[in-house]
């Protein structure tokens, strides 16, 4: 039996992390090592994780370099220990019985497949779909989750496995050769869109991706970032979408790229005006920071 590495990234969210660990121990029958990477949390969060460190391998990062950088620390550790399969799992998820086993079986049986994921449902509303496979809309430079927001009973499927264009960073089961042949998660985004960038790279290296719809996990959506309208999400979401537009403009015609850029800037100007009118200076500043940072973006510079 192949031993697998399961990587959880923690940032001041130890309760969810420990609950995720518990769900793995209750529902996964494979030989595995759980690797918890703490991304420079506060002392209380680290103390709680240290108290339970017999349950997992704990890596304490001195700095918070973001989602990709934190996961990459765990990935490098797993590669050093020669794991063939590495599961990147959000710490605010809960797995169900055999969900990891089903994904691993799919990953092992197809040489062309580099990453698999599963059906991801909301938590605690377990009847609401969050992810059921994904597509990339290049007319907007955005990833779309198939069936997002629909009820489970509305989403019947013919095949238990489907090829997909986009896999969310919430749950990525990856062959170790991917990191060796393609590279690690792109760290320039800090948070958001690194999964889209990574999926594009996977495809361009002639690997395929699959979603296993008979494998289910639950996701406490945006429990760490605070939701789409949080200052954190506004800054990084807008910054990184603009970086994606610049980086992958070759995916669309020059005319379409120009249209998307004009629409992006126009709608952000409207948002800035709305924030001023409502005296929401925090969101105003974060949107401005995000966009201006992306305009000045240089891949070789640290932000």
Q: pLDDT tens digits for 248-273?
A: 999 999 999 999 999 999 999 999 99
Question: pLDDT tens for residues 119-150?
Answer: 999 999 999 999 999 999 999 999 999 999 99
Chain centre to alpha carbon of residue 127: 21
What is the residue-averaged pLDDT of the chain?
Answer: 94
Work out the percent of the chain whose per-residue pLDDT is above 90.
Answer: 91
Q: Report residue 253 as tokens.
A: 């015609």
Q: Where are the beta strands (DSSP E) in the chain?
A: 4-10, 32-39, 57-61, 85-90, 93-95, 113-122, 129-131, 134-137, 142-145, 161-163, 171-175, 208-219
Lowest mean pLDDT among 5-14, 41-50, 109-118, 151-160: 151-160
**May I ask the CATH architecture of the domain 4-219?**
Alpha-Beta Complex (3.90)
Q: Report residue 224 as tokens.
A: 């760490």
pLDDT band at 303 (very low <50, low <70, confident <90, very high): very low
- In angstroms, the CA 159 to CA 143 distance is 22
Q: What is the largest CA-CA distance in the chain?
A: 61
Q: Which residue do the tokens 């042949």 mark?
A: 181
Whether the full predicted model's pTM is greater than 0.85, yes or no, is yes
Q: What is the pLDDT of residue 225?
A: 57
DSSP-assigned letter for residue 188:
G
For residues 114 and 202, the answer to whether their CB atoms sit within 8 Å is yes
Q: Report residue 75 as tokens.
A: 């990935």
Question: pLDDT tens for residues 213-233?
Answer: 999 999 998 655 556 788 999
- Has residue 276 got a pLDDT over 70? yes
Give the residue extent of every domain in the chain.
4-219, 231-295
- In angstroms, the CA 272 to CA 288 distance is 8
Which residue in 23, 47, 48 sits closest to 34, CA to CA?
23
């Amino acid at each position: 039996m192949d031993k697998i590495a399961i990587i959880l990234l923690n940032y001041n969210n130890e309760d969810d992390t420990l609950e995720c660990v518990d769900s793995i121990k209750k529902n996964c029958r494979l030989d595995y090592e759980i690797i918890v990477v703490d991304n420079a949390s506060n002392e209380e969060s680290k103390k709680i994780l240290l108290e339970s460190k017999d349950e997992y391998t704990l890596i304490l990062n001195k700095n918070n370099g973001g989602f990709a950088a934190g996961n990459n620390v765990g990935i490098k550790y797993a590669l050093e220990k020669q794991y063939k399969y590495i599961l990147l799992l959000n710490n605010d998820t809960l797995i169900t019985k055999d969900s990891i086993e089903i994904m691993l079986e799919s990953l092992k049986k197809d040489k062309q497949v580099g990453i698999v994921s599963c059906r991801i449902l909301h938590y605690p509303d377990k009847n609401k779909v969050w992810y059921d496979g994904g597509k990339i809309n290049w007319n907007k430079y955005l990833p779309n989750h198939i069936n997002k927001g629909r009820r489970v009973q509305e989403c019947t499927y013919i095949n238990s496995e489907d090829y997909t264009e986009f896999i969310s960073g919430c749950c990525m089961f990856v062959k170790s050769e991917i990191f060796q042949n393609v590279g690690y998660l792109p760290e320039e985004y800090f948070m958001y869109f690194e999964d889209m960038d990574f999926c594009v790279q996977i495809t361009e290296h002639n690997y395929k991706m699959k979603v296993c719809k008979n494998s289910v996990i639950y996701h406490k959506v945006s429990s760490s970032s605070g939701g789409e309208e949080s200052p954190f999400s506004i800054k990084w979401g807008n910054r990184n979408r603009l970086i994606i537009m610049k980086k992958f403009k070759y995916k669309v015609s020059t005319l379409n790229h120009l249209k998307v850029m004009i629409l992006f800037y126009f709608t952000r100007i409207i948002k800035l005006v709305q924030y001023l009118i409502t005296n929401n200076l925090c969101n105003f500043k974060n949107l401005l920071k995000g966009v201006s940072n992306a305009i000045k973006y240089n891949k070789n510079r640290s932000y």
